[in-house]
Amino acid sequence: MRILWILRGIYGILRHNNRKREGIAMERELRAEIISCNANNEEICASAARISTTAGDAREIFENARGNPKNRSLIGKVLASGHKSLIEHAVFTIALRNVSVFTEQFLIESRLASFTVKSRRYVDFSNLGYYVPPELEGEDLAQYLSYMDHLFEAYQALLEAGIPREDARFLLPYSFHSNFYCTLNARELGHVLREIRYGRGREIPELQDLADQLIEQLEGLFPCLLPELRPFSGGSPAMEETPLCHSSAVPVYLPQREAGAVTLLNAPSEPQKLLEAAYRMQHPGENRPFDMENLLKSQRPRELEQLAYTFAVSDVTLSGITHLVRHRMQSIVVPSVTTVDHSRYIVPDTVSAVPSALKRYQQAVEEAHDTVKKLNGPLRKYHYYFALSGNLMNVLTTMNARELQWFIRLRSCNRAQWEVRNIAVELLRQLRHRFPELFNRFGPSCFVSGGCPEGRLSCGQKDTVVSLFQVLR
């Protein structure tokens, strides 16, 4: 087996070099580029620092800040005193190019940032490449390239066999290139950079590279932030090497129907009373009986935010987690990809239904599983890039009823990806059992409002979907 891997690796290096000569290298330069920011960041933040203690209206204070040489020192003094909110007025949009999906997952957990990501459901990733750690060389590099190339080939073979992209992607390794936009304010950007430098990301060379690029750009665009990039108080805790997890000596395959099992862990004991109390607070002096239907028709149903529900969702694919974490108004606990169990894999129904595709899928998984078990040296350190998008993890999330209303409306729709749709439907089923007076009214847009927002992309099965959610219990 070792000789086979060496031969494959030599072939991989030759093919990798040939791709470079042809201009379609699988390894492309990763970049984090600030493509947009406020035109007057320092003036705006300095104005925010002055407004509470300076005479004049907001516009006058801003005009007086234009070209004021004391702006930067003032911002520094206010930040040093612990008042950080002023730099929330400085906003940046970053284009992230050819970073690994592992890095995407790390960044997208920043709850106060906005992300738009290239979809793996609609885009063919066959030739979009993957990240290669620069330190790898010789036999380690050969084995890494061979592993990644074989998975990309299997992914492409599934596409050619008619498997949908959203299911073929479960074979993509977590090194594959992602491209996305991230918009965040300077305070959150500082938090992200400190987390990379001194927190969870400090042993990840790819993240360090991106931090170097961003800090270099900030030196010219917003140097006020640089003093904030200090180590966490008390220093950085010692990093413990995360053990490479294999719970089984052979791959464990989970059928589609068992993915994303939902358990409601916590719910308000008297939700009706909470809603009515919040409603009375919002409408002082109103004597009309509390009406659930009118509450849900409100353009601002803040009362729903008083009801918090906690769910455990087990056996979610790494791909499925990316759908869940896009909902910003939740408290979600997601384990690091560095802790993934490399033994457990999803098998989607579309693959199971085609014997040749199933054979290729399982062959790719088994080869990947055997390789990861034997990783050592530098490769073992980078085992998170060897994870497959179809590997499974468990997550915990808490959402209030207003966010649940939006989550269920989007994710229980027939247009949603099947894994997150199944989670949303099962989540709704348990909520209806717990508090039917409210949650019997929740469902996809066609059920809730009678219309479909998908336009020409509509599933065309409105009546069937509405009937399904009328009887869902």
The one-letter amino acid at 84: K
Nearest residue to 32 via CA among 96, 101, 104: 96
Report pLDDT digits (tens) over 348-361: 999 999 999 999 99
Work out whether strand 308-317 and strand 261-266 pair parallel, antiparallel, or are unpaired.
antiparallel
Instruction: Give ∠ CA 329-331-334 in degrees, rounded to 5.
Output: 120
| Start-to-end Cα distance in the chain | 53
Q: What are 398-426's pLDDT values in tens digits?
A: 999 999 999 999 999 999 999 999 999 99
Give one DSSP letter per residue of 408-460, joined into a string. HHHHTSTTS-HHHHHHHHHHHHHHHHH-HHHHTT-S-HHHHTS--TTGGG--S
Half-sphere exposure of residue 396: CA atoms within 13 angstroms, side-chain side: 5
Alpha-carbon distance 396 to 372, whole Å? 27
What's the CA gap between 107 and 101, in Å, rounded?
Answer: 10
- Active site residue ranges: 411
The number of helices, as runs of H, and strands, as runs of E, in the chain is 20, 10
Pairing of strands 344-347, 252-255: parallel
Q: What dihedral do alpha carbons 315, 320, 322, 326 form, nearest 10°?
A: -100
CA dihedral 398, 402, 405, 407 (to 10 degrees): -50
The DSSP H or E segment spanning 177 is strand 177-185
- Backbone dihedral angles phi then psi of residue 395, each to the nearest 5 degrees: -135, 165
Q: What would the two tokens of residue 58 be?
A: 């907001």
Q: Answer yes or no: are the C-beta atoms of 439 and 431 closer than 8 Å.
A: yes
What are the distances in angstroms from CA 85 to CA 61, 89, 127, 185, 228? 17, 8, 43, 10, 13
* Among candidate residues 406, 452, 453, the one with its CA nearest the CA of residue 465: 452
Rg of the chain's alpha carbons, rounded to an integer? Answer: 25
Cα 182 from chain centroid (whole Å): 11
pLDDT at 245: 85
Whole-angstrom distance, CA of residue 304 vs CA of residue 290: 14
Q: Are 329 and 154 in contact (CB under 8 A)?
A: no
Task: Give the SS3 label for residue 161.
Answer: coil
pLDDT one-digit tens code per residue, 135-174? 999 999 999 999 999 999 999 999 999 999 999 999 999 9
User: Which residues of the chain carry a pLDDT beneath 50?
Assistant: 1-2, 5-6, 19-25
Please, where are the H alpha helices in 222-307?
Answer: 271-282, 292-297
Q: What is the DSSP string of 190-238?
A: HHHHHHHHHSTTTT-HHHHHHHHHHHHHHHHH-GGGGGG-PPPTT-PPP
Query: What share of the chain has pLDDT > 70, as a percent?
Result: 92
pLDDT of residue 23: 34
Question: 233-246 b/e with 16+ CB inside 10 Å = b?
Answer: eeeeeeeeeeebee
Helix, strand, coil in percent for the chain, rounding step 5: 50, 15, 35
